[in-house]
Structure 1
Amino acid sequence: MNQETYIEISRTSQYINKMRGFSVLIDGAEMGNIKDGERLRIDLQPGEHVIQVKVDWCTSQTLRFTLYEGEVLKFRCGSPIRGWKLLLVLFSVLGSSENYLFIEQEDEKKA
Structure 2
Amino acid sequence: MPIVTINRISEHENRFRKIRLEVNGKLFAKINNSEKQKLELPYGKHYIQAKIDWCTSNILEVELVEDIDVKLIKGKRSTLYRTTFGYKKYLLLQLEVN
Shared fold by TM > 0.5? yes
- Tell me how far 1:41 sits from its aligned partner: 0.5
Using the aligned pairs only, state the percent identity. 27
2: CA distance, partners of 1:6 / 1:100? 25
1: CA distance, partners of 2:31 / 2:73? 10
Q: How does 1:79-94 map to 2 (within 5 A)?
A: 79-81=74-76, 85=77, 88-94=78-84
Query: Greater helix percent: which structure?
Result: 1
2: CA distance, partners of 1:78 / 1:34? 12
Q: Give the aligned residue type for 2:84.
A: L
Secondary structure (helix, strand or coil) at the match of 1:95 reads coil
The answer on whether the counterparts of 2:20 and 2:30 sit within 8 Å (CA) in structure 1 is yes
Structure 1 residue ranges (4+ consecutive) displaced by more than 6 angstroms after TM superposition: none
How many matched pairs?
Answer: 98
1: CA distance, partners of 2:73 / 2:84? 18
Unpaired segments ≥5 residues, structure 1 = none
Aligned to 1:44: 41
CA RMSD of aligned residues (A): 1.2
- Tell me how far 1:5 sits from its aligned partner: 1.6
Q: Give the aligned residue type for 2:30.
A: N
Aligned to 1:61: 58
Q: How does 1:1-111 map to 2 (within 5 A)?
A: 4-68=1-65, 71-81=66-76, 85=77, 88-108=78-98
What's the TM-score, normalizing by structure 2? 0.93
What's the TM-score, normalizing by structure 1? 0.83
Higher Cα radius of gyration: 1
